[in-house]
Chains A and B, each alone.
Chain A
């Protein structure tokens, strides 16, 4: 068996409150991503998906801090890595796409220049060369007229195009791992499908592993081989995507699946009923201690 590319072991992370107090946000998250694998993290908003990804990138900002566990990338501990070496990995070996295509790009700088920065930073290219490579990078993400588009400013582009620019930028240095944190949530449904397909195909072509984060199981299912389900700072279930859909083991997962509108499946009333997850997760504060969902709500488990 090959060694995992990313190995997160019992990751604890929280908000530092003064000297010793600490409010936990992640309570022991463990999962592995194999080289070239697309791994999905799903869960309601606030369940800790983004902080997990930021911890991997080493981009947690101040009150947030890792309080325990390990993050190994190709066997190397990222948490112990000196800043300078972490910077060399970031963007180069591990790249990230964010949710907000509107604000994730610098409004005062051309997109070509912003992509070119990657080549200057990590490959020691001159600005002239880097600009040319940036046009190629835009072509690779199927932006029409890449040479002209490279001179555009972000405000001259649609959300879908900007997200393509983000993808071009993230994949510029052929990273081993791409972290995509809700990359399509802010996009129209049709654009969403295109962008998803693009990420899927490009990563498959290059053998880039993906950590794909979404609150939408449907999106995850279309791109990932394996899925981890996050709930209140814990990874409550993990399985192959198919198996997860067929035999969800955890109540929360069942809730998520129930909330997924599916074509063709109709209930006896002739109309599909969506299950309201709110009724399951209403009392989260109590659940955080037991780490598991109490049997309540529409899809409560049988003892």
Chain B
């Protein structure tokens, strides 16, 4: 198990390297520069002298190869460069934002897990029951609802009308500020989890070894505890992993809507003004996030399923 764990963790490294190179290539071919974007609003006439000076300062008029070498050597020392806009190290900018993002994603996932998995389980235990029907209708509605619309609705209801919760902002990390964005972000994974849990449990319930378990004289509760739960977990872990990764993408919208100072809103703002070092750094961190979650999922698999370690 230790060797398996180490191997899976080491496999992250080459992927990160390839992704870092790809990111560099992509952002050296995208049109537009930071200097030019300063005048993009059209309020001021573009000042060619100033553009030239800024490009000089950021080293943007050096040859591509030279910039590439700088990028790689900096990266090797965990230096993601300096923001064009704030002149701060990118790593500091990301560091500030990352915890807010992580907090939001984890809160959303916990919300989705705590409600989605039990609902899916119960629905599968009694297929065709009222609970099953209601859960599945709810899941389809949850999946088809646009998140920003749901966010607005919740803001309107809980913040403006009922005045229970703050409508937006980080509120210095208070729990109350977390509730609305986390629920909004958590609805999609909740719906998906309820559905996959139900499908997974139904699948397991039809397996031959469940019939064996019943033939041993087990009560339904013991059958579920001893034989269904672990087997259903495999599918649940996959869904959680996939959703956890993509949460950060979905968070872009939610962070904007709720003025949440996360990595998603940092990315959107930086793309808009061509603050390339920040964009590159943010994307790299997001990729790393995906990789870490994928690795974690693989390790959990191996812990659940003895057949995986063998390969």
Please list the residues of chain A having a beta carbon within 8 angstroms of any beta carbon in chain B: 57, 59, 87-92, 95-96, 98, 100, 103-109, 117-118, 121-122, 153, 155, 166, 169
Contact = CB atoms under 8 A, between A and B. Distances in A.
A155 B307 contact: yes
Contact of B215 (A57, A103, A108): A57
Interface string B270-311: 000000000000000000000000000000000011110010
B215 A90 contact: yes
A117 B215 CA distance: 12
A117 B214 contact: no
Contacts of B218: 87, 91, 117, 121
Interface of B: 207-209, 211-219, 222, 226-227, 230-231, 304-307, 310
A59 B216 contact: no
Contacts of B219: 87
Contact of B207 (A87, A103, A118): A103
Nearest to B214: A59
Select the residue from A92, A96, A104 with max chain B CB neighbours within 10 A.
A104
A88 B307 contact: no
A95 B207 CA distance: 19
Contacts of A109: 226-227, 230
19 contacts: A87-B219, A88-B217, A90-B216, A90-B217, A91-B215, A92-B217, A98-B215, A103-B207, A104-B208, A106-B213, A106-B227, A108-B230, A121-B216, A121-B217, A121-B222, A122-B217, A153-B307, A155-B307, A155-B310
Contacts of A92: 217
Contact of A155 (B207, B212, B217, B306): B306
Contact of A105 (B209, B214, B231, B304): B209
A57, A87, A122, most chain B CB atoms within 10 A = A87
Nearest to B306: A153
A91 B231 CA distance: 23
A104 B212 CA distance: 6
B257 to A, nearest CB: 42
A132 B101 CA distance: 50
A178 to B, nearest CB: 11
B231 A106 contact: yes
A122 B211 CA distance: 18
Q: Can you list the 7 inter-chain pairs with the closest CB atoms, starting with the nearest?
A: A91-B217, A90-B217, A91-B216, A103-B208, A106-B209, A153-B306, A87-B217
Contacts of B211: 59, 98, 104
B222 to A, nearest CB: 8
Contacts of A98: 208, 211-212, 215
A59 B217 contact: no
B219 to A, nearest CB: 6
Contacts of B209: 103-107
B282 to A, nearest CB: 39
A155 B231 CA distance: 15
Given A106-B227, A108-B304, A108-B306, A96 B208 contact: no
A130 to B, nearest CB: 13
B193 to A, nearest CB: 20
Nearest to B227: A106
Contacts of B214: 59, 90
Contacts of B217: 87-92, 121-122
Interface centre among B212, B214, B306, B310 (most CB of A within 10 A): B212
B216 A117 contact: yes
B311 to A, nearest CB: 11
Contacts of B305: 107-108
Nearest to A53: B215
A107 B305 CA distance: 8
Contacts of A103: 207-209
A121 B30 CA distance: 67
A118 B219 CA distance: 12
Nearest to A103: B208
Nearest to B233: A108
A119 B310 CA distance: 30
A91 B222 CA distance: 14
Nearest to B229: A108
Contacts of B310: 155
A194 to B, nearest CB: 21
A153 B305 CA distance: 10
A105 B306 contact: no
A166 B216 CA distance: 11
A276 to B, nearest CB: 32
Contacts of B227: 106, 109
Contact of B216 (A107, A118, A153, A155): A118
Contacts of A91: 215-218
A22 B306 CA distance: 44
A11 to B, nearest CB: 19
